[in-house]
């Protein structure tokens, strides 16, 4: 056991984190319970609409914040992220602004150090170094995994920290006015404020006095809250501004010593810096995130959407406010500050806008890149590398080398030639100063370039360049089939099969215990494809005469063998596999090592379609190199084909896409299977970020959109009317758009493809939906709708077909609509708006609303229960279901048994209590033994304990029952903006670590030094790390930077 601790590096870390901030198991979920009473059964009636109120409230809050700011007189312009960061920092301690740029790092270091040592003065470099050394030493002592230690430290620090947040929170919430969202036409001034926010955080921090700091902290908290409420989703720039300010200040004051120490710990910082630099150069630009967060995304919106209208709005807003100027000033003044990166970005954005809002072409992710994609990748990398190096140098000089070395090495690997210089730099401080200068310049350039890139051409927005250099090793194929020689029976007789035939027979045999094996369609398809292999004259003709049992039993035996392997053996096997796959696991994108998602080619098998899929059971042919197209950088070595004698189908060098390879789906040749980077990659994080930013942007338009469709409920134009009603359903019920489907796909529908029979009118004004959606998951929900909608649906159902006939139940309800028409319409309402955005928006806004509404003072477990409850409501809205586990019934009865057991104990104790009060000895227990003669008080205490236990178990039971069909993970990963979770944790002092399982990773988003080595990760990369994704990210990062 202990030993195990020593070994696993990556996984351990997470564990440790958890341990550091353990929550008491006992959850008393008071409110939660009540909420539950609604239970799953009620989910049917739950609609997004219920969360609207909270949503409005947010705006109000924002306004309040704004005024606050105004009063303060200071124009803080920190990006949202910053603000959040700050909060986090306060809690976690660390600095974080860094996300953005390399410069940031330094800052972060210094700031963190400062915090640690003493808030009063910044430490000198040497001081910092010392601090870092301490940390590193500690780590070293402990031994194996410095990570762990660091983590621990961090977590402790965070836990220890006195939370500032709370105080203000309450006050903020009250805000009641809800300002309507600004319409597209005239964005409010706030936006402008928000825009400006991005820039100047640093200066503020520095300036703020301790008192101010405290205040700010509280402010921050508030803001965060706001954020969580609405900020995240609302654009409230003003609020954002506040946040940023507060954040900054808070950061200064907050920093925990521990954190700073950790933070400062040399290696980490350097690494992160380098990473940041790299990223910055690339185009990931963490800054944008931050900006988006607080300031609201205006910038982002610009980036991604780039709608002129938006830009103009933002600009105007920004201009209108003093913020812009301030920001600029701040930037200048604080150029040295680490935040620079962000500042610069902001600036650049401002500048750009000033110039005319034109965005630069995406051309290169990195500034350097942009300058010349043509350059050999080496040169490109070198450019970015240089920046990195510089950062490194600085940091390294300060910190000790040990930690760094690994990183540097890594860097080298990726960068190649550069690495050497890096290491050297580390050694020589003297050079650092000059380097710094150059760095700063570089940074500026980089920022600008980044900025332009990121803003202008977000990857998601289409068309742009996604990378400049790309290296990877292709894909790995499953091992060839090994014939087992076990013969199946036909008419009771063993049959000889060729290895190919046996392989397919085995595919079927191993599925004997699944539902598929008894489905007609499955068997039909399987037999069809298998017969092709057997040939016309094979004795095997009829499925009914086949007996796969021998093969099935062989399979069971193999499985058992595997199970019986000792852990030692398993470990060895695992390591071997890892060794084999190692080279395929990573890609180098613009000089940064990133994890590849699905580098394993899908093995052959029988297609397992979901629901009543017409192709289930078909043979999924083995994929060979000749089926695969590789996409890779022009200058990168072409991956060697892993199967001797074979070759790739094609090599491409398309930098406008993110896939590394693809092949045609053998089941549906029209479709493709792509190999992408892992969720933890910056490319994915970036698009995630864009997704959430777009959702956030919707908040500014939603009011108008709703007014719009409400008006069109009664439109005389039937198409308009259908669009209005469909939009309403998508908004209110979070339905999917519903693309047309071919006959060879499962018969499922979405909004646009709803059939007449899928909706039932329930007088007076309810609609009952019953249909199979994506994954053939049933959507069953009865909701009350506005009368005009009710009437419209009825009209659509009875309307004439285009050919004049009468619609029947299988006809399209929205016969004049399809997804492209709908989305075209939506895009007119808001740039980039699609049906999916409503889902994201409503999921996140609902989380936000519930958290704000239901979180009360209380224990951490209570708060977490609130979070879970909110998560559950979102899952219900999105109709994320799961099948009830096989052991569910079993588990429930066990729980009941235990409860009954406890109740019996309670009874017995209560008898004893009565006797004890009368001075009598307790009765003998079941086995006839005599019990201790306890004092009545002692017995009473025991009873109370048991009562508490019973109550907890009852609650657990209830939760379990309620969640048995609800899948929380999907929304957590794909729909809930992690910034909401982070802000909430911060505000309510819920440890970010594991508590809400979602969140541990979010830390990364903000560049918090949870894992020192990861620190460098910038916002953009991680961005939306939730749940599992966060885990992945953490591990991936650790792997990539720590090894």
Stretch 997-1036 residues interacting with DNA (CB under 7 A): 997, 1027-1028, 1031-1032, 1035
Q: How far is the CB of 887 from DNA (least distance, A)?
A: 5
Our CB check for DNA shows the closer of 22 and 550 to be 22
Per DSSP bridges, beta strands 650-652 and 629-631 are: parallel
Label residue 919 left, alpha or beta by phi (over 0 means left) and psi (-120 to 50 means alpha): left
Applying the rule CB under 7 A, the residues between 549 and 568 that interact with DNA are: 562
Q: How far is the CB of 555 from DNA (least distance, A)?
A: 11
Write the DSSP symbol of residue 452.
I
Secondary structure (3-state) at 502: helix
Contact segment (CB under 7 A) with DNA among 16-24, 41-49, 248-256, 278-286 equals 16-24
| Contact predicate 274/1017, CB 8 Å | no
| Contact predicate 1021/686, CB 8 Å | yes
Q: How far is the CB of 884 from DNA (least distance, A)?
A: 9
Our CB check for DNA shows the closer of 541 and 774 to be 774
Q: Tokens for 679? A: 């969720």
Q: How far is the CB of 838 from DNA (least distance, A)?
A: 11
823 makes contact with DNA (CB under 7 A): no
The binding track of 37-66 with respect to DNA, each residue x by CB under 7 A or -, is: ------------------------------
Residues shown for the chain: 1043
779 makes contact with DNA (CB under 7 A): no
Q: How far is the CB of 741 from DNA (least distance, A)?
A: 8
991 makes contact with DNA (CB under 7 A): no
DSSP bridge partners of 780: 770
Question: Which residue from 333, 776, 797, 910 is in contact with DNA, where contact means CB under 7 A?
Answer: 776
Q: Round to whole Å and give the CA distance between 380 and 655.
A: 15
Q: Round to whole Å and give the CA distance between 684 and 460.
A: 10
Q: Round to whole Å and give the CA distance between 521 and 616.
A: 7
The torsion defined by the Cα of 461, 463, 464 and 469, in degrees rounded to 10, comes to 120
Q: How many residues bind DNA (CB under 7 A)?
A: 76
748 makes contact with DNA (CB under 7 A): yes
Our CB check for DNA shows the closer of 189 and 605 to be 605
Our CB check for DNA shows the closer of 879 and 1018 to be 879
Question: Which residue from 264, 879, 981, 1026 is in contact with DNA, where contact means CB under 7 A?
Answer: 879
Q: Tokens for 919? A: 């001075």
Contact segment (CB under 7 A) with DNA among 179-187, 254-262, 431-439, 658-666 equals 658-666
Q: Quick one: which H or E segment has residue 387?
A: helix 377-398
Could you write out the three-class secondary structure of 757-808?
Answer: HHEEEECCCEEEEEEECHHHCEEEEEEECCHHHHHHHHHHHHCECCCCCECC
Question: Which residue from 166, 481, 967, 1039 is in contact with DNA, where contact means CB under 7 A?
Answer: 967
Question: Which residue from 111, 264, 881, 1020 is in contact with DNA, where contact means CB under 7 A?
Answer: 881
611 makes contact with DNA (CB under 7 A): yes
Phi first, then psi: what are they for 990, rounded to 5°? Answer: -90, 125
Applying the rule CB under 7 A, the residues between 212 and 241 that interact with DNA are: none
620 makes contact with DNA (CB under 7 A): yes
Our CB check for DNA shows the closer of 760 and 956 to be 956
Our CB check for DNA shows the closer of 782 and 883 to be 883
Q: Round to whole Å and give the CA distance between 155 and 652.
A: 46
Write the DSSP symbol of residue 924.
P
Respond yes or no on whether the N-terminal peptide bond of residue 764 is cis (omega within 30° of 0). Answer: yes
> What residue ranges in 773-927 does DSSP mark as E strands?
778-784
Question: Which residue from 307, 665, 757, 760 is in contact with DNA, where contact means CB under 7 A?
Answer: 665
Question: Which residue from 204, 386, 613, 986 is in contact with DNA, where contact means CB under 7 A?
Answer: 613
Our CB check for DNA shows the closer of 19 and 428 to be 19
Applying the rule CB under 7 A, the residues between 491 and 520 that interact with DNA are: 514
Applying the rule CB under 7 A, the residues between 886 and 905 that interact with DNA are: 887, 890-891, 894
Our CB check for DNA shows the closer of 924 and 960 to be 960
Q: How far is the CB of 744 from DNA (least distance, A)?
A: 10
778 makes contact with DNA (CB under 7 A): no
Query: Which one of 584, 709, 975, 1041 is the catalytic residue?
Result: 975
111 makes contact with DNA (CB under 7 A): no
Q: How far is the CB of 574 from DNA (least distance, A)?
A: 6
Secondary structure (3-state) at 547: strand
The binding track of 724-743 with respect to DNA, each residue x by CB under 7 A or -, is: ------------x-------
| Contact predicate 527/541, CB 8 Å | no
Q: How far is the CB of 559 from DNA (least distance, A)?
A: 8
25 makes contact with DNA (CB under 7 A): yes
Contact segment (CB under 7 A) with DNA among 12-20, 214-222, 224-232, 482-490 equals 12-20
Q: How far is the CB of 992 from DNA (least distance, A)?
A: 13
Q: Which of 253, 249, 257, 248 is nearest to 117 (CA)?
A: 257
Question: Which residue from 257, 313, 466, 987 is in contact with DNA, where contact means CB under 7 A?
Answer: 466
- 975 catalytic, yes or no? yes
| Contact predicate 1021/279, CB 8 Å | yes
Our CB check for DNA shows the closer of 273 and 909 to be 909
Question: Which residue from 52, 522, 659, 790 is in contact with DNA, where contact means CB under 7 A?
Answer: 659
The binding track of 275-314 with respect to DNA, each residue x by CB under 7 A or -, is: ----------------------------------------
Q: Tokens for 332? A: 């200048």
What are the DSSP calls for 30-63, one per residue? HHHHHHHHHHHHHHTT--GGGGHHHHHHHHHHHH
The torsion defined by the Cα of 747, 750, 753 and 754, in degrees rounded to 10, comes to 90
Question: Which residue from 584, 586, 648, 676 is in contact with DNA, where contact means CB under 7 A?
Answer: 676
Our CB check for DNA shows the closer of 8 and 428 to be 8
744 makes contact with DNA (CB under 7 A): no
247 makes contact with DNA (CB under 7 A): no
Residue given tokens 């510089």 in the structure block: 390
Q: Round to whole Å and give the CA distance between 1031 and 1014.
A: 13
Our CB check for DNA shows the closer of 277 and 845 to be 845
Question: Which residue from 603, 637, 787, 794 is in contact with DNA, where contact means CB under 7 A?
Answer: 603
658 makes contact with DNA (CB under 7 A): yes
Q: Tokens for 952? A: 């907890």
Our CB check for DNA shows the closer of 401 and 1039 to be 1039
| Contact predicate 286/85, CB 8 Å | no
Q: How far is the CB of 909 from DNA (least distance, A)?
A: 16
| Contact predicate 58/229, CB 8 Å | yes
Q: Round to whole Å and give the CA distance between 244 and 248.
A: 6
What are the DSSP calls for 687-748, one per residue? HHHHHHHHHHHHHHHHHHHHHHHHHHTT-SSHHHHHHHHHHHHHHHH---------TTS---
Write the DSSP symbol of residue 291.
I
Write the DSSP symbol of residue 1025.
-
Q: Round to whole Å and give the CA distance between 175 and 166.
A: 16
- 741: Cα separation from own chain's centroid: 29
Question: Which residue from 90, 667, 866, 955 is in contact with DNA, where contact means CB under 7 A?
Answer: 667
22 makes contact with DNA (CB under 7 A): yes
Contact segment (CB under 7 A) with DNA among 184-192, 217-225, 276-284, 682-690 equals 682-690
Label residue 514 left, alpha or beta by phi (over 0 means left) and psi (-120 to 50 means alpha): beta
Order the strands of the 592-595 sheet from edge to edge.
Answer: 470-472, 586-589, 592-595
Q: How far is the CB of 824 from DNA (least distance, A)?
A: 20
How far, CA to CA in Å, does 169 sit from each of 159, 160, 194, 235?
19, 20, 21, 19
Applying the rule CB under 7 A, the residues between 824 and 843 that interact with DNA are: 836, 839-840
Provide the annotated active-site residues.
975
């Amino acid at each position: 056991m202990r030993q195990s601790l020593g070994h696993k590096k990556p996984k351990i870390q997470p564990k440790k984190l958890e341990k550091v901030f353990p929550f008491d198991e006992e959850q008393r979920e008071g409110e939660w319970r009540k909420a539950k009473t609604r239970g799953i059964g009620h989910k049917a009636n739950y609609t997004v609409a219920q969360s609207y109120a909270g949503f409005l409230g947010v705006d109000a809050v924002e306004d309040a914040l704004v005024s606050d700011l105004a009063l303060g007189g200071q124009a803080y312009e920190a990006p949202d992220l910053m603000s959040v960061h700050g909060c986090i920092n306060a809690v976690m301690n660390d600095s974080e602004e860094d996300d953005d740029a390399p410069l940031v790092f330094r800052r972060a270091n210094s700031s963190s150090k400062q915090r640690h040592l003493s808030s009063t003065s910044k430490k000198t470099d040497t001081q910092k170094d010392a601090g870092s050394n301490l940390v590193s030493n500690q780590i070293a002592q402990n031994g194996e995994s410095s990570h762990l230690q660091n983590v621990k430290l961090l977590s402790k620090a965070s836990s220890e920290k006195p939370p500032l947040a709370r105080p203000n929170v309450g006050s903020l919430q009250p805000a009641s006015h809800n300002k309507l969202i600004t319409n597209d036409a005239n964005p409010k001034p706030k936006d402008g404020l928000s825009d400006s926010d991005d820039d100047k955080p640093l200066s503020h921090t520095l300036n703020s006095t301790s008192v101010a700091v405290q205040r700010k902290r509280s402010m921050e908290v508030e803001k965060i809250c706001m954020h969580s409420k609405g900020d995240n989703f609302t654009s409230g720039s003003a609020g954002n501004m506040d946040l940023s300010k507060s954040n900054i200040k808070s950061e200064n004051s907050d920093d925990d010593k521990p954190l700073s120490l950790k933070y400062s710990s040399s290696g980490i910082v350097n690494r992160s810096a380098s990473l940041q630099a790299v990223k910055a150069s690339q185009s990931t630009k963490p800054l944008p995130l931050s900006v988006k967060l607080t300031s609201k995304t205006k910038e982002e919106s610009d980036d991604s959407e780039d709608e002129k209208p938006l830009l103009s709005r933002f600009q105007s807003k920004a201009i209108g406010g003093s913020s812009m100027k301030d920001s600029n000033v701040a930037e200048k003044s604080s150029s040295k500050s680490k935040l620079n990166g962000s500042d610069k970005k902001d600036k650049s954005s401002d500048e750009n806008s000033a110039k005319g809002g034109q965005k630069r072409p995406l051309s290169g992710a990195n500034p350097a890149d942009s300058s010349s994609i043509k350059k050999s990748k080496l040169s490109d990398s070198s450019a970015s590398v240089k920046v990195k190096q510089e950062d490194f140098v600085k940091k390294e000089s300060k910190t000790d080398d040990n930690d760094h070395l690994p990183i540097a090495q890594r860097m080298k690997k990726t960068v190649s030639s550069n690495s050497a210089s890096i290491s050297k730099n580390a050694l020589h401080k003297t050079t650092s100063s000059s380097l710094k200068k150059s760095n700063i310049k570089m940074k500026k350039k980089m920022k600008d370039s980044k900025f332009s890139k990121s803003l202008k051409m977000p990857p998601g927005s289409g068309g742009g360049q996604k990378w400049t250099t790309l290296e990877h090793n292709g894909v790995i194929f499953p091992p060839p089939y090994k014939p087992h020689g076990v013969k199946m029976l036909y008419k009771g007789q063993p049959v000889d099969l060729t290895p190919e035939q046996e392989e397919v027979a085995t595919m079927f045999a191993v599925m004997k215990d699944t539902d598929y094996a008894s489905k007609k369609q499955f068997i039909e398809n399987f037999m069809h494809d298998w017969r092709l292999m057997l040939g016309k004259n094979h004795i095997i003709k009829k499925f009914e005469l086949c007996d796969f049992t021998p093969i099935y039993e062989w399979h069971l035996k193999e499985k058992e063998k595997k199970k019986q392997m000792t852990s030692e053996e398993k470990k060895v096997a695992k390591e071997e596999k890892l060794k084999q796959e190692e080279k395929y696991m990573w890609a180098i994108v613009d000089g940064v090592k990133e994890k590849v998602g699905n580098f394993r080619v899908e093995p052959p098998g029988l297609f397992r379609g979901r629901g009543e899929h017409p192709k289930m059971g078909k043979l999924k042919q083995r994929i060979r190199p000749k089926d695969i197209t590789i996409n890779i950088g022009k200058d990168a070595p072409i991956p060697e084909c892993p199967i001797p004698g074979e070759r790739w189908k094609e090599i491409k060098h398309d930098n406008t896409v993110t896939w590394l390879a693809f092949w045609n789906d053998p089941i549906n040749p029209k479709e493709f299977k792509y190999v992408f980077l892992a969720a933890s990659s910056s490319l994915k994080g970036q698009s995630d970020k864009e997704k959430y930013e777009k959702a956030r942007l919707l908040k500014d338009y939603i009011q108008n959109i709703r007014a719009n469709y409400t008006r069109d409920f009664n439109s005389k134009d039937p198409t308009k009317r259908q669009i209005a009603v469909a939009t309403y359903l998508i908004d209110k019920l979070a339905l999917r758009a519903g693309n047309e489907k071919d006959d060879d796909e499962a018969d499922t529908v979405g909004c646009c493809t709803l059939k007449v029979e899928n909706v039932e009118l329930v007088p007076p004004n309810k609609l009952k939906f019953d249909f199979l959606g994506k994954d053939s998951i049933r959507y069953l929900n009865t909701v009350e709708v506005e009368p005009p909608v009710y009437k419209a649906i009825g009209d659509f159902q009875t309307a004439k077909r285009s050919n004049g006939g009468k619609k029947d139940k299988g006809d399209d309800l929205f016969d004049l609509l399809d997804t492209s028409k709908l989305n075209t319409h939506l895009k007119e309402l808001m740039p980039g708006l699609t049906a999916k955005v409503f889902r994201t928006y409503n999921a996140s806004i609902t989380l936000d609303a519930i958290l704000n509404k239901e979180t009360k003072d209380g224990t951490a477990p209570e708060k977490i229960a609130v979070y879970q409850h909110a998560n559950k409501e979102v899952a219900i809205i999105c109709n994320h279901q799961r099948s009830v586990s096989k052991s569910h019934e079993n588990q429930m009865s066990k729980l009941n048994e235990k409860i009954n057991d406890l109740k019996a104990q309670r009874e017995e104790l209560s008898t004893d209590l009565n006797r004890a009060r009368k001075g009598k000895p307790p009765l003998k227990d079941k086995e006839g033994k005599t019990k201790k003669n306890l004092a009545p008080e002692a017995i009473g205490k025991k009873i109370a304990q048991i009562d508490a236990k019973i109550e907890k178990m009852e609650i657990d039971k209830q939760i379990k029952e309620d969640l048995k069909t609800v899948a929380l993970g999907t929304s957590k990963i794909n729909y809930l903006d992690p910034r909401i979770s982070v802000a909430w944790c911060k505000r309510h002092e819920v440890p970010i670590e594991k508590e809400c399982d979602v969140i541990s990773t979010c830390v990364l988003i903000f560049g918090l030094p949870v894992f020192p080595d990861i620190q460098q990760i910038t916002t953009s990369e991680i961005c939306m790390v939730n749940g599992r994704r966060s885990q992945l990210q953490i591990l991936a990062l650790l792997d990539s930077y720590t090894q």
